[in-house]
Amino acid sequence: MSSQKQEAVKRITVPEITARKGGEPIVVLTAYDAPTAEIMDAHCDVLLVGDSLGMAVHGLPSTVGVTLEMMILHGQAVMRGAKRALVVIDMPFGSYEAGKEEAYANAVRVLKETGAQAVKVESGPEVPATIEYLVKRGVPVMGHVGLLPQSINIDGSFKAKGREAAEHARILQSAHDTANAGAFAVVIEGTAEGLAREITQAISKPTIGIGASAACDGQVLVSSDMFGVFDWTPKFVRKYADLRGEMGRAVQAYAEDVKARRFPAEVETYFSKKPATQ
């Protein structure tokens, strides 16, 4: 046996991501399971266990129905697959809005039970104070401004933000408040290019865009959208694969082979061992 030990993979840290402001773009994708996280790990700086798993994995109509237990379960799976990327876990709707103490207890539970490095929260008017409370107590937080999926019941639909002056000013202020509260990075979702550019230039923390133009310091996509798992995707998604088509063709071929008794073939079948000769 070789006496040389394999060098352990060094995981990317929160300060390293913050230091990327204005530098090499930060690569982020959502991840929900161990095998996919393992594939992504070599190429992504951050893996986000997004509450989008409610829609992408569980078939829910929105992210509102996602629970803390669901986030923890998927976070544990991703941490088993990812060895290099920084892993951030979404705090689901209702887990951080009621009060700073409850938010802290839930965030600590997420980090302890998954081993992930940070949590993410959607930044409403009351949230920056919670972010500051968490950060001061050792919980790294990624913020999220612009289109807020957890607010779907108020907004009524997923539509681009920041196209009107009043909304522009509100989102810009939210980004300032989120960064000043101590968030180490800020996701900007579904936001007009001019506003995304202004936020990126105005705050000292890296911005991660999703439907917010190339002006941001990094980009994130829902992996299921990027892989082409669904027929419909938002305008800002670029499909890098057609897994829906590939999976459909694979299932069709399998079904045809089973019906024709071509599967399993001899090479895929176990046989009794021959008795040993005397």
In the annotated binding site, the residues are 51-52, 90, 120, 122
Q: Which residues are annotated as a binding site for Mg(2+)?
A: 51, 90, 122
Helices 100-114 & 68-81, crossing angle to 10 degrees? 30
DSSP one-letter string for 73-89 = HHHHHHHHH-SSSEEEE
Distance of alpha carbon 93 from alpha carbon 79, whole angstroms:
22
Helices 165-180 & 193-202, crossing angle to 10 degrees? 30
Find the catalytic residue in 69, 189, 198, 246.
189
Long-range contacts from 53-59, C-beta under 8 angstroms, 24+ separation: 56/30, 56/32, 56/222, 56/223, 56/224, 56/225, 56/229, 57/32, 57/224
Question: Are 78 and 33 spatial neighbours (Cβ–Cβ below 8 Å)?
Answer: yes
Active site includes 189?
A: yes
Contacts of 16 (CB under 8 A, 6+ apart): 86
Interior CA angle at 69 toward 68 and 71, to 5°?
65
Which residue from 83, 111, 213, 95 is spatially nearest to 160, judged by alpha carbons? 213
Place of tokens 């005397």: 278
Is residue 179 within a helix (H) or strand (E), and if so which, with residue range? helix 165-180
Q: Which residues are annotated as a binding site for 3-methyl-2-oxobutanoate?
A: 51-52, 90, 120
DSSP one-letter string for 222-248 = -HHHHTT-SS---TT------HHHHHH
**Which residues are part of the catalytic machinery?**
189
